Amino acid sequence: MFSNGGPKQLGRREFLGALAVGGASAAGQAAPPLATSLPEPMARPGGADLAYGLPAPEEAHVERALSMTAGFPVWRTPLQRQRGVITPSGLHFAVHHNGVPEIDPRRHVLLLHGLVNQPLRFDLERLLRYPMVSRVHFLECAGNSAANALSPTALDQTLGEIAGEVSCSEWTGVPLSYLLREAGLKDTAQWVVAEGADGGSHSRSLPLKALLEDGMVALFQNGERLRPSQGYPMRLFMPGWEGNVNIKWLHRLEVTDAPAYTKDESGLYTQVLADGGIERFAFHMEVKSVITHPSGQQRLHEPHGFYEISGLAWSGRGRIARVDVSVDGGRSWTPAQLHAPVLDRAFTRFTLPWQWRGHRAELMSRATDEQGRTQPLRSEWKRRYAMHSFNHYNAVQAWRVQVDGRVENLYA
């Protein structure tokens, strides 16, 4: 309805009345019942809710991607379907070197021993009595984006398949400093060997000083108890450090005067440099960003139209300071908007409005953290590391938008 040439807002009564009048025929016949004009869900009461909420059936296709890497399963987060910065617990990435153990939380214990004045034993009920903290942090596998590091040609995959071994959650648990100080540390204490209760007794050595500053025995994720895939009933959590040191199903902490040089830290997670040297104990995940949409295997359906370029940035060394976006393959860059909250060692959402004119375009994002560290190009990263290296790959991710709107992985 219009008044003085402009639209008139209708109240609920006027709206329903208009529906009824509009339903009458020109011959003056009575309008059909109002219910016949309503959408089907409005015509009858809805169904019952569930005790534990689930996504809508129409969203059942939004799930993690599974692949086998080095003989063990890897579940990747579908980052291309994510908005905001928190990853739902059911979509959080997971890597299982020895499967997911079935652990009875009533019998599980955490042992704290070694170079301490008083060895301690914690069951779950005892840990739940301690003061806890909650922090939002990302978690990333050291091998995330390995295909981009190793494959000579860019694989035509979704963002989740390429770089989905990273997620961001709210983690709640007991600061490890409480437990270590309660046990009392000997003067020679320098390292802690953390071990999981999985079939392979996965273990890693971590510097004691770092654990006292940031370490947590995580018991909750996104407000609920850890899921088995994430280390139920307890896991070690070190914000910003490679996923492999965040020991799941944590059951033992041994305080030592030196690292143990366990299998993983001496082999798979030692990075080989181009000059033959090695990076041992390279714990921090470096600054990184990805454009989530448009991204791999998506399609832009309206040429000559407005699109929002959006993505995620993170750094294992602090907050994101800026993200620059290029739509011309890196010839020019534009600062993107960073959306609050910009948290320490957490996902930061960035966006940039873009007018696509139907021509081929190359989209790239380049993040810089508060320490001034900036993402390198793939060619720069490859010059630093040996040809077979792939851990801690943080090079710029590029996408090519074809003239038909299809988006493909691209090396920059």
CA distance 255 to 31: 81
CA distance 219 to 234: 5
In contact, 137 and 168? CB cutoff 8 Å: yes
Report, as an integer, the average pLDDT of 18-30.
Answer: 53
Global pTM value:
0.90
What is the chain's Cα-based Rg?
26
Q: pLDDT above 70 covers what percent of the chain?
A: 93
Strand extents, DSSP E, 247-347: 250-256, 271-272, 278-279, 288-293, 305-314, 320-326, 334-335, 337-339
pLDDT digits (tens, 9 = 90+) for 339-380: 999 999 999 999 999 999 999 999 999 999 999 999 999 999
> Domain-by-domain residue ranges, the chain?
288-410
| Least confident residue range of 10-19, 110-119, 365-374 | 10-19
In contact, 121 and 111? CB cutoff 8 Å: yes
Report, as an integer, the average pLDDT of 140-164.
Answer: 97
CA distance 280 to 266: 8
Strand extents, DSSP E, 91-214: 94-95, 109-114, 120-123, 133-140, 166-175, 191-196, 203-207
| Residue 42 pLDDT | 83
288-410 belongs to CATH 2.60.40.650: yes
CA distance 362 to 377: 14
Report, as an integer, the average pLDDT of 11-15.
Answer: 56
| Residue 412 pLDDT | 85
pLDDT at 105 over 60: yes
| Residues sharing a CB contact under 8 Å with residue 396, sequence separation 6 or more, in sequence order | 289, 330, 364, 365, 366, 375, 376, 377, 378, 412
Which residue reads 């989209």 in tokens? 363
Of the two residues 72 and 284, the one the predictor is more confident about is 284
pLDDT at 7 over 70: no
CA distance 373 to 259: 28
Report, as an integer, the average pLDDT of 150-171.
Answer: 97
Longest CA span, the chain: 98
C-alpha 43, offset from chain centre: 41
